[in-house]
Structure 1
Amino acid sequence: MFIKYLKYIVVFGFVFFLASCSRKKDKFISRNFHAVTAEFNILYNGQLAFDAGRQALNDAYFDNYWDVLPIERMQVFDEIVLPGQSKNEQFSRAEEKAAKAIQKHSMNINGKEKNPQIDEAYLLLGKARYFDQRFIPSLEAFNYILYKYPASDKINQAKVWREKANIRLDNNELAIKNLKRLLRQEELEGQDLADATSILAQAYLNIKVVDTAITLLEVASNSTKSSDERGRYRFIQGQLYNTLGYKDSANYAFDRVIELNRRIPRIYLISAHLEKIKNFDYDKGNKIETKEFLTKLEENRENRPFLDKIYHQIGTFHLRSNQDSLAVSYYNKSLRATTIDKLLKAKTYEILGDMNFDKSIYAEAGKYYDSTMLNLTLNSKPYRVIKRKRDNLGDVIYYEAIAKSNDSILSLTKMPEAQRIAYFLEYTETLKLKDEAEKEKAEAAKNVINNNAGLANTSQQRIGFGPPGAQQSQASLFYFYNPTTLAYGKNEFTKIWCNRPLKDNWRWSTNATAVAGISNNSENKIEDVATLEERYDPKFYMSKIPTSKKEIDSISKERNFAYYQLGLIYKERFKEYELSKSKFLNLLDSNPEERFVLPTKYNLYKLYELLGENNEALKLKQNIIANFPESRYAKILTNPDEVADNDENSPDNIYATLYAKHTNQDYEEVIKKADNFINDYDGDVLVPKFELLKAMATGRLYGFEAYKKAINNVATTYANTPEGKQAQSIENSVLPKMAKADFNTEVDVSRENYKVIFKFSKDTPETLTNFKTKLDEALEHVRYYDLTSSIDVYDTETVFVVVHGIKSETVAKTFLQLLLDKDQEKIKEPFFTVSSTNYQVIQVHKNLNEYLNRNNN
């Protein structure tokens, strides 16, 4: 009988149990059912997801030990997260679980929460949003706990997390106020105290109150239960002491980090050792002991992942100890070591660049600065500093390469035939040995690949199929993954194609010389484009030596110009007076053109004065006054007080005067005066400015073709000057847009303006001035239109008086009807109309007759 009714009893009991677990009834069974279900099901899974997301965040985070570490390991990104999106799926899952726990198991009865796990759910919700970098929603979750659950055992944690969110939102003062109140009102202990004081320290760091932050970090390091956190807090203390200049206190803090040894991540231990060495006193400290300790760090197998940092610090130690060769060796080791610290690489390259710069090896310094910029954030302040330094070296590298190359060629032209043959025989023998060595390397690399492939195939044959990692092993045999074969391939490519820029149509022959003459390294050497027979034939190289006087003179002139520019650059930009002096002396010894002699001697005179070589300065002064008595330099040396900086004949003032004439459309005068200056002061640093101004005036006066030719001349002759680069930009970007000489027949009425043009001869200035006066008076009387006039030069013979401000072609053609009757009597000269677009074409291409004939037809 009992068994017969058992199923009904079970169903009834289950229904009764469910009814008893209602979220609307404050019963013992209901409270415990929802609490246990929320805690050990939904929140448990949510916490697992949160912990996984936090671990992934820590694994992906990279600390910048060149700056003070943040208290919390968390990278904040600037990307905007849209609703429904997440930076980390684990945090999104944790948030979903927390929300589900609240929705399914909250027991809000008569305004009070009966489920003790719901405050945990809101805390998890806020933390998940916080690490997903949605700080305002996370702040709402923490505030809800404080508002709704004031008696919660998680209330202090909620208060700390709320202030974390406030700090992320830059509300540092508010966070400090709230955390200080929390510490004053509550007796926090253990991890709660550590969390509150550490985040309060971060708020003080954000507002630059360093000493208070150090004190709070001491409390946090003593209270935390995590050795990882303790090591981090003590390391930050050491960094902060260093920023204040207290090296002894910093070293004590780093010693406390080192004491933790294996209880903390090894990166803290290694960084603490290296920071202590940075504080080493090179005047009073024991260098032998420090060197032995650095060697010990280097040789410790456990430190292999940190060799990039260790090598860099050893290099710095040797550099500070004036052992430059050892420093360079260890810096190069640091660069070759595996590292993800791009800032470390940037600093290493910069140091090597500075070392070469200080030794006046500017070409090498430029290469190191290029590498430095590759490892810096684009357009950041450090990037701009290095870029400015590199740009200043551009001219030096360019002219040094020209001087070196042309000196070599000229020395070969002066060699006797027998000496040339001996020279190139030795050169080709060296080249042959070098090629054979490279061939052996390539064969060895090929054998390595074949052997690895054979081993892999054998292994797979034995087991039928490769193990799970077999594909990865095969990938390692890929050509580009083998450094030996990759290096060989690069070298072979350079031999065949020379140095090609990364651009479309890279195989075009014009790209082969894109950098010719700019670099003095092995790129673009003549053997790279020789055939196999020619490569080892001395006669081939001898045939390339110029023999005609015209070619040799051209090379000599180019070399002399490079010497002069180098002398000026070393003197004016880098204050390298000895280097500048040597370049100017080399120039005078090279039988330079007459235009270089006087400015070179004057610059040498100034250099002798700066170097304190007064006897040499006096000799040069007398030489300039005796041989060039009418020159400006002689006048400066004879009467320096009379020739002041504001002398109207100074290059700067001449340029300012010419620029004003250009603005006033006196183009013929600009061209004439610019030519005079260029001839008189050829070699002066201001010559490119006069050349560019002359090109602009030429274009305005003679049209597009003359402008194109003049701009090309500036771009090629003064390639590495600011004016040359500006001319190159005009040639690449502006001239193609100006090249079209066709008149526009399709008019956009809403945008196009029209001009009324009166044509005058340039030989009748009085007639032109009188007409312009009458026209301006007439235009003042015109109603409904705001019309103005101007005088525009067309060419050497023609000048236009142009009326501006007309919006319609019809109005332009009936221009006289706009004038009063009395004004129409004064304006009798013929005119023609033109759109603004076509007027620009007329001025650029000087094709007025073609435009007028088109209208007549």
Structure 2
Amino acid sequence: MTHTLTRSLNILSICFLLGGAIFGCSQYSSRPAAVNFHNVSSHYNAYFIAEQDMQEAEFTMRASYKEDYNQLIPILLPIDSILALPVKPQLLDAIKKASIVAEKHQNSKWVDNSYVILGKSRLYLGQWADGLEALRYVYANGKDESDKNQALIVLMRAYISRKDFSNALGVAEYLSQQPLTKDATKDFYLTKAYLHQQNGEYLTSVAILEETFPLLSKSIETARLHFASAQMYDRLGQYALANKHYKSVTKNQPDYDLGFYSSMNSLQNQVIIDPKTDISSVGFDRMLRDRKNNDLRDRIYFTMGLLAEHKKQLPEAVGYLQKSASLASGTNNVQKAYTYLQLARIHYDAMEKYELAKAYYDSALIILPKDAAEYRIVSDRKMALDNFVAQQTIVKMEDSLQILAKMNPKALDDKIDAVIEQQEKQRLEEEKKRKEIITNAMNQANMNGSIPSLANSNDRRWELYDPAMINQGKIEFRRIWGSRVLEDDWRRSSKQNKALAATNALDTVSVGGAAPVEMAMTRENPIWQAKHEALKKNIPLTDSSFASSQKRKEDALYNLGKIYRFDLKESDRAIAAFNRVLGEYPQTQYREEIFYLMYLTLAEDDKNRDVWKGKLLSEFPNSTYARLINKSASDGSAGDRNNPVKAYESAYKLYADGNYTKALEDIEGDLPAYKGSMLEDKFALLRVFLVGKVRGREAYLQAINEFVRLYPNSQYLPRLKEMQELREISVGKR
């Protein structure tokens, strides 16, 4: 019993001593033993695991990041929550472990480091507020200057990712005054170079990188930085310096793609530096023959196309680019999108083939990623070209029809017959090729035994599964019925159509005695005559139809000028289009607006600008545009307003409060600055209401008519027309 009592006392003593030790090692104690205990415990437990999680997550994100070598590659990996999705478990675990240090080891020297990991993890996950707060906490409460500087570098990078360049520059100026360790200096230089690169200040960015390279060891990351430097030198036009860095890429262990693009860009610069260099002999042919580049041949041809365009060899440029597009694989759709964009730009800018340019923009927009930097620009350009091509087609068609209308009747008939004859030749060629294809396909199928002959087999395939039978059916249909428009009820005998009458005439001929498909139609054929009359019907031969054609052309020319001015941002072509309207239609209904638009479009130092202003003020002194010019001239701040939404809300509030005069002054001051913007018709509609409140009935009706004429496609037009009808009814009752 005594032995048992002694043992119990020993256990109690041990527990008492352990409890005292633990109490003495409190996280709030500053005693050396307590501090050392928490330093060791936090460093080799929670912080160690958090740091390993962070390194693993960053390595995985870097490996999965897809470089776009068509664009300027970023110096640092972007902070992107989408990119961090695959490593979310590691980041959450890093947050959990780093939080343990902050909660249970307050007197440890690893608290600041843990907060940095906490902040970075939350930034990667898209939790910006919490991430920034953690980093700012280190700066405000950190005990170690190196840790505070590290937190500020990460904070600076976060500002850059959010395009908050002002705050990022403020942090950079502070850090430039601090003593930094070698590693911190390297991180700071890279982050500052990244800041200037993202802000478009390439000269400053490459200057900082030049100071950074001596601090870097040989690695793929160093190779990537040399490539980024070379790209920026390219944009600065310093091709020799760019090539120096492209060569440095190969000396720093690049991966295959990085080395490939570096070599190709270097060859591209050689051609630019020496214009006499032949594109095909500089080294691209060797790259094309290398089997390792089979999946990159589209990019080689793309570069050759860029160089051919640079040398003004447009047909060769188009040929190279079309080869690039044809070789692009399904996994490299981004490259194909850039190829289409380049083809669209060449056809629009250099070759002025707008329909083809529109088609290439359409193709590019289908496969271009929506998060690409060019997506919004391409989308806007595509929409503008859709409208542009439609208006230009109207102008060309009406021009052609009016030329035909001025011909004498005999020459006109001969011209129409020549068109039909050309169509007939094309039809015969297509029928011949189609028959050869079908015959070859059937012969090949019979030889291979893959498709049994229908004449010798009882196993008839359903026609919609057999392409050969489909083509035979099409030929048989055309032989009996002729070429037909796809429409409902095409066989109805009640349809009053000359083409149908011609077809019915053919129906009287037995199938066995029908003319072969390959036989050309003659001018005496009823189908020929029907086509002749159908084509002639569109020509404006009467005074009224010719006037309608002129009006359509006038409207289209005016719309082309506006598209050039506001959508395509091409002032010279806009001025040419407006001048053409005034030249061909001196009394056009668009005179006052064209005067105003010419005034807006011409440069401020152009002497003709005041001429158009004078024309507007002398011929239309009471027009809306005259008021806008006078208002913008007296209120210099009108053109400086850069937030149309706030400007509209401010004017509408004045309108709602009954301050109509001041609201009208603001609207007429703002409208010139937002001409061509998405809110222009909304500003104009509010102006209509205000004119009715301030200037009376006549001015109100004039403002309504101007709105209807200037904004025929506005979503607010039905509402305005309804108000106009109500106004007329109320006036009639009086």
Q: Shorter-chain TM-score: what band?
A: 0.5 to 0.7
- Residue 281 of structure 2 is matched in structure 1 by 291
- Residue 74 of structure 1 is matched in structure 2 by 78
- Residue 274 of structure 1 is matched in structure 2 by 264
Change (3 A) 1:655 1:120: closer
* CA distance in structure 1 between the partners assigned to 2:138 and 2:273 by the alignment: 59
Q: How does 1:128-277 map to 2 (within 5 A)?
A: 128-151=121-144, 154-168=147-161, 172-189=165-182, 191-205=183-197, 209-225=201-217, 227-260=219-252, 263-277=253-267
Secondary structure of residue in 1 paired with 2:283: helix
1:126 aligns with 2:119: yes
How many pairs align?
A: 532
**Could you give the per-residue CA deviations for residues 582-636 of structure 1, whole angstroms, max 9, x where no partner exists?**
xxxxxxxxxxxxxxxxxxxxxxxx9xxx9xxxxxxxxxxxxxxxxxxxxxxxxxx
* CA distance in structure 1 between the partners assigned to 2:526 and 2:344 by the alignment: 36
Q: CA deviation at 1:213?
A: 2.5
Q: CA deviation at 1:194?
A: 1.0
* CA distance in structure 2 between the partners assigned to 1:511 and 1:221 by the alignment: 76
**Structure 2 counterpart of 1:387, one-letter code:** M
2:337, 2:363 within 8 Å by CA — same for their partners in 1? yes
**Structure 2 counterpart of 1:200, one-letter code:** K
* CA distance in structure 2 between the partners assigned to 1:298 and 1:322 by the alignment: 23
- Residue 349 of structure 1 is matched in structure 2 by 340
Change (3 A) 1:423 1:318: closer
**Structure 2 counterpart of 1:157, one-letter code:** Q
* CA distance in structure 1 between the partners assigned to 2:74 and 2:181 by the alignment: 23
1:166, 1:172 within 8 Å by CA — same for their partners in 2? yes
Change (3 A) 1:488 1:266: farther
Q: CA deviation at 1:223?
A: 1.0
**Structure 2 counterpart of 1:97, one-letter code:** K
Change (3 A) 1:396 1:289: closer
* CA distance in structure 2 between the partners assigned to 1:165 and 1:286 by the alignment: 47
- Residue 436 of structure 2 is matched in structure 1 by 433
* CA distance in structure 1 between the partners assigned to 2:66 and 2:224 by the alignment: 14
- Residue 686 of structure 1 is matched in structure 2 by none
Q: CA deviation at 1:351?
A: 3.2
- Residue 330 of structure 1 is matched in structure 2 by 320
1:442, 1:488 within 8 Å by CA — same for their partners in 2? no
1:20, 1:29 within 8 Å by CA — same for their partners in 2? no
1:555 aligns with 2:535: yes
* CA distance in structure 1 between the partners assigned to 2:328 and 2:384 by the alignment: 29
* CA distance in structure 1 between the partners assigned to 2:121 and 2:72 by the alignment: 26
2:193, 2:206 within 8 Å by CA — same for their partners in 1? yes
Q: CA deviation at 1:304?
A: 4.4
Q: CA deviation at 1:555?
A: 1.8
**Could you give the per-residue CA deviations for residues 354-395 of structure 1, whole angstroms, max 9, x where no partner exists?**
555666765544322321333455972343234323432235
Change (3 A) 1:33 1:301: farther
Change (3 A) 1:644 1:538: closer
**Structure 1 counterpart of 2:328, one-letter code:** A
* CA distance in structure 2 between the partners assigned to 1:116 and 1:446 by the alignment: 82
- Residue 635 of structure 1 is matched in structure 2 by none
Change (3 A) 1:362 1:443: farther
Q: CA deviation at 1:325?
A: 5.4
**Structure 1 counterpart of 2:289, one-letter code:** E
Q: CA deviation at 1:311?
A: 2.3
**Structure 2 counterpart of 1:43, one-letter code:** Y
Q: CA deviation at 1:200?
A: 1.9
**Structure 2 counterpart of 1:90, one-letter code:** Q
Q: CA deviation at 1:349?
A: 1.5
- Residue 20 of structure 1 is matched in structure 2 by 21
- Residue 538 of structure 1 is matched in structure 2 by 517
**Could you give the per-residue CA deviations for residues 470-496 of structure 1, whole angstroms, max 9, x where no partner exists?**
xxxxxxxxxxxxxxxx9989x99x989
1:86, 1:132 within 8 Å by CA — same for their partners in 2? no
Change (3 A) 1:236 1:552: same
**Structure 2 counterpart of 1:333, one-letter code:** K
Change (3 A) 1:129 1:437: farther
**Could you give the per-residue CA deviations for residues 35-65 of structure 1, whole angstroms, max 9, x where no partner exists?**
4443333333323332343234334434444
Larger Cα-atom Rg: 1
- Residue 830 of structure 1 is matched in structure 2 by none
- Residue 50 of structure 1 is matched in structure 2 by 54
2:193, 2:209 within 8 Å by CA — same for their partners in 1? yes
- Residue 732 of structure 2 is matched in structure 1 by 800
* CA distance in structure 2 between the partners assigned to 1:511 and 1:7 by the alignment: 107
* CA distance in structure 2 between the partners assigned to 1:69 and 1:90 by the alignment: 26
2:420, 2:528 within 8 Å by CA — same for their partners in 1? no
List gaps (5 residues or longer) in structure 1: 449-485, 497-507, 513-525, 527-532, 576-605, 611-642, 657-721, 739-752, 758-788, 794-798, 803-857
Q: CA deviation at 1:196?
A: 1.0
List gaps (5 residues or longer) in structure 2: 402-411, 452-464, 476-485, 491-502, 504-510, 561-575, 595-707
1:90 aligns with 2:80: no
Secondary structure of residue in 1 paired with 2:75: coil
Secondary structure of residue in 1 paired with 2:732: strand
Q: CA deviation at 1:195?
A: 0.4
Change (3 A) 1:43 1:547: same
**Could you give the per-residue CA deviations for residues 653-691 of structure 1, whole angstroms, max 9, x where no partner exists?**
7999xxxxxxxxxxxxxxxxxxxxxxxxxxxxxxxxxxx
2:431, 2:518 within 8 Å by CA — same for their partners in 1? no
- Residue 99 of structure 2 is matched in structure 1 by 99
Change (3 A) 1:160 1:539: closer
Change (3 A) 1:541 1:131: farther
- Residue 620 of structure 1 is matched in structure 2 by none
Q: CA deviation at 1:312?
A: 0.7
- Residue 762 of structure 1 is matched in structure 2 by none
Q: How does 1:836-847 map to 2 (within 5 A)?
A: none
- Residue 831 of structure 1 is matched in structure 2 by none
**Could you give the per-residue CA deviations for residues 106-127 of structure 1, whole angstroms, max 9, x where no partner exists?**
1x4xxxx2x2332332221122
Computed over aligned residues only, the root mean square deviation of the Cα atoms, in angstroms, reads 6.2
1:135, 1:168 within 8 Å by CA — same for their partners in 2? no
Change (3 A) 1:547 1:509: closer
Change (3 A) 1:195 1:306: farther
**Structure 2 counterpart of 1:139, one-letter code:** L
Secondary structure of residue in 2 paired with 1:391: helix
Q: CA deviation at 1:302?
A: 3.9
* CA distance in structure 1 between the partners assigned to 2:48 and 2:515 by the alignment: 77
**Could you give the per-residue CA deviations for residues 272-310 of structure 1, whole angstroms, max 9, x where no partner exists?**
333334434558445248734112233334444543322
* CA distance in structure 1 between the partners assigned to 2:446 and 2:48 by the alignment: 60
- Residue 390 of structure 2 is matched in structure 1 by 394
Change (3 A) 1:221 1:553: same
1:363, 1:396 within 8 Å by CA — same for their partners in 2? no
* CA distance in structure 1 between the partners assigned to 2:426 and 2:584 by the alignment: 53
* CA distance in structure 1 between the partners assigned to 2:215 and 2:280 by the alignment: 34
Secondary structure of residue in 1 paired with 2:109: coil
Q: CA deviation at 1:436?
A: 4.9
Change (3 A) 1:293 1:445: farther
Q: CA deviation at 1:415?
A: 6.4
Q: CA deviation at 1:198?
A: 1.3
**Structure 2 counterpart of 1:801, one-letter code:** K
Change (3 A) 1:73 1:792: same
Change (3 A) 1:313 1:551: closer
Higher helix share: 2
**Structure 2 counterpart of 1:553, one-letter code:** E
* CA distance in structure 2 between the partners assigned to 1:5 and 1:38 by the alignment: 38
* CA distance in structure 1 between the partners assigned to 2:88 and 2:241 by the alignment: 40
Q: CA deviation at 1:538?
A: 1.7
Q: How does 1:648-667 map to 2 (within 5 A)?
A: 652=590
